[in-house]
Every structure is written in C-alpha cells, then in structure tokens.
Chains A and B, each alone.
Chain A
Amino acid sequence: MNEVLLSNQIIVFLLSESTLFILLLVAFVVSLKVLVKWDFESFMPFQFALERQAYLVSTIILFVFVMKFILVVYFIFSIDALSLLLPGAMCGAGVIKANVYGSYLLVLKLSILFLLTLWFYIHYYDMRTKNHQWFKHKSWLFSLIFVFIVLELGLDFSYFSNIDTHLPVSCCSALFGQLEGANPLPFGLSVSLLLVLFYLLYILVILSLKSGYTLLYILTNILFVYIAYYAVVYFFGTYVYQLPTHKCPFCMLQAEYAYVGYLLWASLFMGTYIGLSDAISTLWLGKTDPKSKNIVVWLLSLFVLLCTAYVAVYYLRNGVLL
C-alpha cells in the first residue's frame, strides 16, 4: 500500500473531503430539483415544500463553506508534513510537484474557496429579499461549484494515491531558484520593476475600490494577486528566509518562520476573495456592502505592510539589503 495513504493527516483529509462531498451530493440533488420546479409566484404546497428544501441546501453549503476553509489550511499543513517522506523535498513545493495533479489541485482549491465566498455573498443578499430574488443565481452558482468539487475530489484521490515515495522530487530551490539565467518573472520584468508594479497596483486597487470603479478594481486586483505572488516568491520571501537564494512560497509556512506564510497568504487571498465577491455582486445583483470594502483595504494593507516590514526590519538590523 502506498505509504502516503497511511499518513494520518492524509487519511483524515480524504475522509473529511469525502464526507463533505456526500453532503454536497445530497444538496446538489435537492438543489437541482428546486431549481427546475421553482416558481415563487405559485402558492401550491409543493412550492412551500421546495422553499423548505432550499433551506437544507443553504445550510449544507454554509457548513461546507466553513469546513473548506479549515480544510485548505489543513491540506497545506499535511502537504508540508509529507515532505519528510519524499526524498528531496524540503517543503510543500516539492510535494505539490510530486505528480502532475498537485498544482492543479491547489489552484482548484483556491478557486473553489473564491466561488464559495461569492456564493456566500449572493446568499446573504438573497436572504434579505422578501421574494428570494436571486435564488436562481445562487443555485446556478452552486451547480458550478459542485462540478468543481467533483473535480476536486477526483484530483484529491488521484493526487495522493499517485505520490511515489521512492521517486526523488525537486526541492523548492530547484523549482524556483536558479533557472540557469532564465528570467522566471512574467512579462520579462526585473525585480525592481516588479516591486514598483507591486506597490503601484496596490495603490490602484485601493483607489479603484474606494472610488467605485468596479470593473477596474476587479482587473487590478486579479493582476495584483498575480504580481504579489511573484513579488513574495522572488523578493519578499528572501527577506523572510534572510537568504538571497531561498525562493519559495511554501517554506514560509513552516515553524522555523513562525508560520508567517499562513498569515501572509491568508490576508492576500481573503482580501481578494472578499473584494472580488463584493465587486461581482455589485455588477451582477447591483448590491454592495460598504463594510466589505473596508475589510478588503485592511487585509490587503496588512499583506503589503507585512511584506514591507520584513524588508524594513532586515534593513534596520543589518544596514544592507539582500
């Protein structure tokens, strides 16, 4: 039997994912039925029964929503713990790249979290209307999420059962570090340009968010996440590790760096999720929540400040930059 599948965390993880899937399957079947037969204007007992069943669907999704967030953190933690078992792996990066499924799985998990946040927003507005105005919107969205989750479950199992513990994997320094002179940054950027872009985009995100240019905001925020990922891996990360050659998005999730990676990535992604969900619901449903804008500003600023603080503290302590 595959040694990876005996790892306690992996068993718990797969079990949890499967349990959630069974619940979602129930929700999906009910939701489809409700979606097809839904007619809010009708006063038949059948419609009332449907409305009651809609509560089951939303309760299940809310529960899954909370659990998925915990499970992503747990997933990353287990991946990190697996690095002990794989020859050559120093952190999660190597384990994720242990087979082809890993990186897709991670991206898929992050997108599902985003969609769930969006669903949560629509649900929130929907519950506050008297006639469940956006019921169909949220049901269709859930159907989409469900398709993704089916994919995710499949990937979960194929990823973990296909990790070969005898095959050496690349360490993060091989994956992100020296690429024999090739520039790993997108658009042929240099590190200084990357940083300029990083801060500019941050300012642009905040400005467009505050001034209400929703479409511009969505675009800049997506770009910001993209640039921020590279900025953290190729610049800020080196200050977290205090080593100019150490370029890795995963090592900072380990205990040696006080698990700062969780805070860093969580603030970036949560900020983006909330911001984008609010922006999309503005465009789609015409509803905005002023509170979430403030939260987004806070979270993204926390992210930028934390990144900058590592550089500043290093500079103040040592008098030089890496």
Chain B
Amino acid sequence: MNANAFWHFLTLQLFKERSKHLSVIVISAMILFLLSSVLFISSSIRFSLEETLKVQPDFVVSRVQGGISVPTPMIWEDELIDIYGVSNVIQRVYGRYFFKAKERSFLIVGVDFLEEQSHENLQKLIAKTDIKAFLNGSKMLVGEGVKTYLDAHFYKDDYNFLTPEGTFEKVNIFKTLPFQSNLIANDMMVMPIDLARKILGYSEEEVSDITFNVPNPDEWDMMTDKVSALHYDLQVVNKKDVQKSYENLYNYKGGLFLILFLVVLSTFTLILYQRYSMVYSSERRNIGLLRALGWSINDVLKFKFTETLVIVFASYILGVFFAYVYVFVLGAPLLKEVFLGGQNLQNTLTFVPVLDFSVLTSIFLIYALPFIAAVLIPVWRVSVTEPKEAML
C-alpha cells in the first residue's frame, strides 16, 4: 500500500472520529501530566542536591547521646587535625530558632568569618559585599523565605532574637541570599559564628558538629573506623551516607506516589479496554468495508496500531509538555509542597530542569505500555472482522 495514501487515510479517519479520540487524549494527557510533574520535581531536586553535595565536606562528626545529637566539644577538632590524611577541619554551629508567636522556625547557621576562605566564599556568593561593613556589629544574611516572612511581620531591617539566657539580641539584616539557592537556603540565617552560639545557647567550647575532608576516597572506610574509635559517643557520617539518604528520601516519596498511582493506572487501563472494545465494535462495518476492498488483516492491524501510536505519542508529548511548564516554568505550585513541605516558610524556588533518559523512559513505559497492552486485544478483535460484516 502506498505509504502516503495510508497516512492520508489514517489522518482523515483520525480527524473524522476525533470526538472519540479527543477524550482519550485529554484523560491520558492529564494522567501523564500528574505523573511527569512528580517525577520531574523529584529528579530535579535530586539533581540539585547531588551537584551541591559535591562541595560539601566529606565527613561530619557529632556527639550523639541516646540517639539525640548534643553539642559537640570543640576539643575533638584538635584530635581530628592530628589524624594523618584529614584536611579542612571545620566547626559548624547551627540550629533552628523557633519564632514562637507564629509557630515558624528558621535555621541559624554560624560561619567563622575570621577565616580568609569564608570571605572569599561570601564574595563569590554575593558580589560587591563589603565584608567590613558586614562584620561591623551584629548582622546577618537571610534566605529569601526568611526575608519575605520577616518583611510581612514588620521586621524590615533587624530582628530581635531571644537567647536562652533571656536577653534580647538585635541583629540587622544585611542582605538577602540569592534566590537560586532557595532549595537549600530558603529558611537560613547566616551570621558570624559567635553570634550564632549566643543565640542558640552554645557555650564557647561547644559546636554543633565538626566537618573534615579526606581527599583520597579510598581511605574513607578506614577513616570512618578510625574516627569512630576516638570516642564512644561519636557519630561519623560521610558524604556517601548523605547522598544515599537523600536518594532514599526521594525514592520513597516518588515510589510511594508511583505505587498509589498504580491504582489509577490500572483503572485507566480497564477504562481504555472497555472503551476501545465499544468504539471498535461500532466500527465493525467500516473495517468490514475495508476488508471487502481488499485490505488484509495485517493491513488493518497496522492501520489500527498506527492510529493508537499516534494517540499515544500525541498525549505523551502534550502531558510531558504541560508538566514541564508547570514544574520548571511555574515552579510547581501546590505539588512542590508534597516534596518540600508547606507548614513553615513559603519557598518560591525555580526547579532546575532535568530531562534525562531515565525520567522520560520511565514516564513512557509506565504510560504507553499499559495503554497499548489494553488496546491490543480490542484492536485485534476488530481487525479480524470478516468482509461480509460490511453488508450487515
């Protein structure tokens, strides 16, 4: 059969029967939209975190008592420096500050600005920062979410922290952190380390935890053993564990969604099976005519199959496109709260677009395969129509 004539007839038929196909396309596109949005968000967050983890220190050491993190003594830092192969030992002070009146919390992160490296990092992050002005008096950098929240509550320039001693600590808002970092810095308040200690109630000899790097990854396992042998209440976490826990977290969210989605999918498949059985039985006469005109069973099968493929691909493209716009252009309103939560601060982030083989194939497989599988039998049933049916 002439390919052009085939396509001409196929498309003519598709458009003539468009009302039948339109509803299928719309429902498919909606299901695909939901599915793709979830997978897009989770893969985008995973991508961003993986990129960011690259620069994170390799190991984190903290003190754990009874399964709860407690302040880590600063002396441990000196013990770590003495181990051969360990570099960049850095203390971290951070913790959540609870804004009781409104049941909101912020993450306070202390940075040692007396270090040269921190200056450089700050300069890189926020161009044209006057370090001297920043270090002069109590000042902090706040994430976008924090800034919006404080603005709305009339803390335009400064905020009064209540320290555990019962005193007030007035800290000026110096600048807002760039919005591209919203995924990790939305609820952050970055301030000099001593100020953070005071607000969070750490003593001079205490830190939240200590990080260090081990440049040779082959030594990581050995180093974990060595460091955990230092103290009985010491917990070491390396970057691979963190990576794994993030991976698990999003597998868990996406996986649970997918498992629930299976219910929708099987219903959809059943509906498709029913619908196509009905639609095609009303087409028996047409097919009978085609058969009488000399089409073979294979021709009809090919015809119906191509028709299905056109519908599958059209709805695939539509669904993925709308999901793409929804997630990466509009920032996935509502749905992102499943992944990031929505009880605390409003996070207006832009997801970094990620379209890889794995996501696109997953979407295709989970949708197209059941779709075609459901339609196969009705397609066959109508394709083997006898020519004599044309006369009925």
Known contacts A26-B377, A55-B301, A85-B247, A7 near B358 by CB under 8 Å: no
Kindly state the separation between the CA atoms of A67 and B262 in the bound complex, as whole angstroms. Answer: 19
In the bound complex, CA of A283 to CA of B366 (Å) = 40
Quick check: is A225 within 8 A (CB to CB) of the other chain?
Answer: no
What distance in Å separates the Cβ of A223 from its nearest Cβ neighbour in chain B? 33
Q: Quick check: B247 and A60 within 8 Å, CB to CB? A: no
**Cβ of A84 under 8 Å from chain B:** yes
- CB proximity of A20 to chain B, nearest CB, Å: 7
User: A134 CA to B37 CA in the complex, in Å?
Assistant: 48
Task: Give Cα A77 to B358, complex, Å.
Answer: 7
Complex: how many Å from CA A77 to CA B362? 11
Residues B297 and A12 in contact, CB atoms below 8 Å apart: no
In the complex, A8 Cα to B261 Cα: how many Å?
A: 12
Instruction: Write out the residue numbers on chain B whose beta carbons fall within 8 Å of the beta carbon of A6.
Output: 248, 251-252, 255-256
How far is the CB of B223 from the nearest CB of chain A, in Å? 15
Shortest distance between the CB of B266 and any CB in chain A (Å): 10
Asked if A70 lies at the interface with its beta carbon under 8 angstroms from chain B, I say yes
Q: Which of A22, A74, A85 touches B361 (beta carbons < 8 Å)?
A: A74
Say whether A174 faces chain B, with CB atoms less than 8 Å apart.
no
A59 touches B373 (CB 8 A): no
State whether the Cβ of B149 lies closer than 8 Å to any Cβ in chain A.
no
Query: Would you give the 0/1 interface string for B162-186, flagging 1 where the beta carbon is closer than 8 Å to chain A?
Result: 0000000000000000000000000
User: With the chains together, A84 CA to B239 CA distance in Å?
Assistant: 12
- Measured CB to CB, the closest approach of chain A to B245, in angstroms, equals 10
User: In this assembly, does B10 line the interface, its C-beta being within 8 Å of a C-beta of chain A?
Assistant: no
Is A11 within 8 A of B380, CB to CB? no
Whether A59 contacts B244 in the complex (CB less than 8 A), given A6-B256, A8-B251, A127-B298, comes out as no
* Cβ contacts under 8 Å, A9 to chain B: 358, 362
- A55 lies within 8 A of B370 (CB): no
- B384 sits at the interface (CB 8 A): yes
Contact of B366 among A16, A23, A52, A85 (CB under 8 A): A16
Does B254 count as interface, using CB distance less than 8 angstroms? yes
Q: How large is the interface on A (under 10, 10 to 19, 20 to 34, 35 or more residues)?
A: 20 to 34
> Is B12 in contact with chain A by the CB < 8 A criterion?
no
Q: Is the CB of A23 within 8 A of B358?
A: no
Shortest CB distance B283–A (Å) = 17
Asked if B383 is an interface residue, CB under 8 A from chain A, the answer is yes
**Does chain B have a CB within 8 A of A81?**
yes
Interface residues on B, range: 35 or more
Flag if B376 contacts A3 (CB, 8 Å): no
Q: Across the interface, which residues of A come within 8 angstroms of B240, CB to CB?
A: 87
B-side interface mostly: helix
**B102, chain A: closest CB distance, angstroms:** 35
A7 to chain B, nearest CB (A): 5
Give the distance to chain B from A182, nearest Cβ to Cβ, in Å: 23
A19 within 8 A of B: yes
Contacts of A60 in B (CB 8 A): 376
Minimal beta-carbon separation of A60 from chain B (angstroms): 6
- Per-residue CB contact flags for chain A residues 37-63 toward chain B (1 = under 8 Å, else 0) read 000000000000000100110011001
CA gap between A56 and B377 in the complex, in Å: 7
B293-337 near A? 1/0 per residue, CB < 8 Å:
000011001000100000000000000000000000000000000
Partner of A12, one of B251, B298, B357, B362: B362
Residue pair A8, B247 in contact (C-beta under 8 Å)? no
A8 touching B297, Cβ below 8 Å = no
Cβ-based interface call for B369 (8 A): yes
Within 8 A of B (CB), among A131-182: none
- Taken together as a complex, chains A and B put the C-alpha atoms of A9 and B248 apart, in Å, by 13
B365 within 8 A of A: yes
Task: Give min CB distance, A102 to chain B, whole Å.
Answer: 20
Contacts A9-B358, A23-B376; is A55 near B244 (CB within 8 Å)? no
A15, CB-defined interface residue at 8 Å:
yes
Which of chain A's residues has its CB closest to B243's CB? A84
- Report the bound CA distance from A231 to B377 in whole Å: 46
Chain B residues near A78: list those with CB within 8 A: 358
Q: Taking the nearest CB of chain A, how far is it from the CB of B140, in angstroms?
A: 36
Q: How long is the Cα–Cα vector from A49 to B329 in the complex, in angstroms?
A: 54
The reply to whether B376 and A63 contact each other, CB–CB distance below 8 Å, is yes
Please measure, in the bound complex, the distance between the C-alpha atom of A26 and the C-alpha atom of B377, giving whole angstroms: 10
The answer on a CB contact under 8 Å between A12 and B365 is: yes
Interface string of A10-31 (1 = CB under 8 A from B): 0111011001101100100000
Q: List 17 A-B contacts (CB under 8 A).
A: A3-B248, A3-B252, A6-B248, A6-B251, A6-B252, A9-B358, A13-B365, A52-B297, A55-B384, A56-B377, A59-B301, A59-B379, A63-B372, A74-B361, A74-B362, A77-B358, A85-B251
> Other CB < 8 Å A-B pairs besides A12-B362, A15-B365, A23-B376, 11 of them?
A3-B251, A3-B252, A6-B252, A6-B255, A16-B365, A16-B366, A55-B301, A56-B377, A59-B380, A74-B362, A84-B243
